[in-house]
Chain A
Amino acid sequence: MSPEELEQIAEAERERQAKFKHRIKVCMAAGCVSCQSEGVKAALDKEVAARQAAAGGGECDCEVKCVGCMGLCAGGPLVAVGDSALYQHVTPEDAPALVESVGGAPVSRLVCPTDVPFFQKQKKVVLENCGNIDPERIEDYIAAGGYTSLMQALGDMTPLQVISEITRSGLRGRGGAGYPTGLKWSTVSKAPGEKKYVVCNADEGDPGAFMDRSVLESDPHRVLEGMLIAAFAVGANEGYIYVRAEYPLAIKRLRIAIKQAERLGLLGNNICGSRMSFHLDLRLGAGAFVCGEETALLASIEGRRGIPRPRPPYPAMEGLFGQPTLINNVETFASIAPIIRHGGEWYAQIGTEKSKGTKVFALAGSVNNTGLVEVAMGTTLREMVYEIGGGMAEGRQFKAVQTGGPSGGCLPAQFLDMPVDYENLARAGSIMGSGGMIVMDDTACMVDVARFFMDFCMGESCGKCVPCRVGTYHMHGLLKKITQRRGSTADITQLEELSDLLKNTSLCGLGQSAPNPVLSTLRYFAEEYKAHVEEHRCPAGVCNSENGDDAANEPPNPDAPVAIDLGSGKGGDQ
């Protein structure tokens, strides 16, 4: 494969596409598939074929095309006819009307307005192809300019130049912690080792986050291209994508993408005639949130229990099979090709001073427009909720926005005008996380939300270190007691004590950040805790005393300090 051959493929694909005068695009990402978009696609195919037969056969001038996520999951299934008309809540029965509308007047009852902030306010870099290309055809990706960045890197740049371009872009890890990507790449490239690995973390475990899933389902080649460029930059020749088993469609499309790339010589030995070789394989997660932690993820790829280990040594020095390993998340890799194509400077112009570029958010919860959005860093929460999100659903009152999943926090209305970036979120007591953004209204009880997340952390704790294993258990017990309206102020003090312990002594990020939802709700919704423990009532009306009741099994006064029976022995050796 040479740049010329790549251009030939792109040209052939563009010619193929030009043969069709009209195009109907059906969203085939998981959101719409779960509202039966496959049925819609089949009905559209049938309708187009029937019309063509009625017209006496010949060249068909209308293509019905599968595409990835168009963003507005709340309106699914989504269908786009031509370049302008977007339709929502389409059913198979609507197929004749839609096909009829091709080249004519739109079907007004199904129209989804696109001149609204949800579409206008977005800045698409990572999602530029989502909803436009067929994720199962590499030609479509190539026709959209795909793999040219790889060609550029391999042909015109040195690994060092690639790294400095990424450094210049100011890109930071999109998995949550926001570590500078260029710095990470540079560390791995300098690390001594005969073999190096590039690993894509697609174990999107945060509940309420589906950015990575949508990117993988809608534009898998973009992730492959990012990984290839990374492999070139750090000198790796083997890579893995660790993807959740809960994402069957993403797995299927990744498998297809890898096969196609191998067929075209974009993966394998001597890629594009260069000396670079890169082999890529998938590894499926098996339902363990802690595997999002990088050392646990590596253990899992090695076929072991997903147990984190102390860092240092960092994976950049000693990672998979003991070799230097670059681990980035899906969105990070998906940002690479545009950065190489347009330059680091271009990317650095987007966003805020310390958080450059764009961020994909999965907007969910009590807003009208739930779905996938990509905005420039620094967009305010108010814009996210009231403009892009289309305001609160059912005219409800805004209460909080939760970012960062179980490691993040709940931010109240006072932060609505805060520009969203890594620093601001951290200052406010939350984190960027992978990009889940869940809007909560006045029907949500913040103590119950804290209990929900602690239940999650307790269930996902690997059990290796004592503070996380036992601490999350106790914190969950205390929160459960409070939501059962049996709590006291002493319980809140103990929650604070345990929060401090877990934050400072847990081995990995799961335990260290597990107290965040508790701390942020204690900080901003103290009056709700107060109502629960002092007046024994839940202001939102969520908590009731039957909540998983096990009060009967508890000792009479479980909260009095218990003397330990230390026996009379003098203890063993130390």
Chain B
Amino acid sequence: MSFVTAVVCAQSQHFAGEFHKLLLTALAAKEGKLPVTPDPNRPAPPSADKRWKLVEATMRRMGNSPRGLIESLHTVQEVFGYLDLDALRFVARALRVPLSRAYGVATFYHFFSLRPPGEHTCVVCIGTACYIKGAPQLLAAIKQELGVVPGQTTADGKVSVLGARCLGSCGLAPAVVYDRDVAGKVTPQALRDHLAKWKSHVS
């Protein structure tokens, strides 16, 4: 175990990230270079993709401890869009989490997806207020237009449709999130128009 890791482990998990940074800077100032000695016990990322650095940063912030599993999976999903088996295996190893537990967590929480998302995502809120105010009609419109139900992606990979338990935009029911933008008081026609816009766009 290198000096840096030993010190970090001795600190509370909360500080680990900050402390690590501080130490690195202090050492770098002293030696004039960053002391990057790869820990032989640490698994290497599945690929040379730079985005793994972000995942590793999150794991470091969480003290590379098993309790950082969910936060790390959040980062993987944020930067790659979904969790594949290689990512799960890497995160599980790095955080010393049993493989089956990592898979169990990834499939327990509906926010995580094990399949790549479509080019666009359309999240339909199916909370109570939206349900009462017409979410079922929106889902019917989607089924008619795209032939998919929540949880599915169109065959051409264009659009993923998801259902949300409640977006908390109940005052604007029914609500839909197009990619990242929330729209309120959505009518089936407005939804169709939006889907048509996506369809015609070649990106």
Contact = CB atoms under 8 A, between A and B. Distances in A.
A304 B70 CA distance: 7
Given A304-B101, A305-B104, A287 B70 contact: no
B66 A207 contact: no
Contact of A76 (B74, B105, B168, B171): B171
A34 B166 contact: no
B111 A287 contact: yes
Contacts of B105: 303-305
Nearest to A195: B12
B168 A452 contact: no
Query: Do most interface residues of chain A lie in helix, strand or loop, or is the interface mixed?
Result: mixed
Given A33-B182, A34-B183, A306-B109, A452 B172 contact: no
Interface in B151-203: 164-173, 175, 180-184
Interface residues of A, number: 58
Nearest to A33: B182
A34 B184 contact: yes
Given A371-B171, A402-B128, A209 B166 contact: yes
Interface stretch (B33-41, B49-57, B114-122, B129-137): B129-137
B70 A303 contact: yes
B109 A208 contact: no
Contacts of B172: 31, 34-35, 73-74, 76, 370
Contacts of B142: none
Contacts of B74: 245, 284, 286
B110 A303 contact: no
Contacts of B171: 31, 73-74, 76, 210, 362-364, 370-372
A45 interface: no
B70 A284 contact: yes
A287 B132 contact: no
B21 interface: no
Given A207-B165, A362-B170, A364-B173, A436 B109 contact: no
B134 to A, nearest CB: 10
Interface string A272-304: 000000010101111111000000000011111
A205 interface: yes
Contact of A30 (B129, B182, B183): B182
Contacts of A207: 126-129, 131, 165-166
A30 B128 contact: no
Contacts of A362: 168, 170-171
Given A34-B183, A366-B132, A210 B168 contact: yes
A314 interface: no
Interface in B65-103: 66-71, 73-74, 95, 97, 101
A281 B105 CA distance: 21
Contacts of A248: 180
A213 interface: yes
A206 interface: yes
B184 A31 contact: yes
A372 B168 CA distance: 11
Contacts of A524: none
A148 B167 CA distance: 33
Nearest to A71: B171
A364 to B, nearest CB: 4
A286 B69 CA distance: 12
A424 B24 CA distance: 60
Contacts of A462: 108
Contacts of B19: none
B109 to A, nearest CB: 3
A204 interface: yes
A501 interface: no
29 contacts: A31-B171, A31-B184, A73-B170, A73-B172, A207-B126, A207-B127, A210-B170, A238-B14, A246-B111, A246-B165, A246-B168, A247-B168, A248-B180, A279-B15, A286-B70, A286-B73, A286-B74, A287-B110, A303-B66, A303-B69, A304-B69, A304-B105, A305-B108, A363-B171, A364-B128, A364-B170, A365-B133, A365-B173, A405-B128
Please list the 5 inter-chain residue pairs (A to B) with the smallest Cβ-Cβ separation, ordered nearest first.
Answer: A73-B171, A207-B127, A286-B109, A34-B182, A210-B168
Interface of A: 30-31, 33-35, 73-74, 76, 204-210, 213-214, 238, 245-248, 279, 281, 283-289, 300-306, 362-366, 370-372, 402, 405, 436, 438, 440, 444, 449, 452-453, 456, 460, 462
Interface of B: 12, 14-15, 66-71, 73-74, 95, 97, 101, 104-105, 108-112, 126-129, 131-133, 164-173, 175, 180-184
Given A205-B166, A288-B109, A364-B128, 8 more contacts: A73-B170, A74-B171, A303-B68, A303-B97, A364-B129, A366-B133, A370-B171, A440-B132
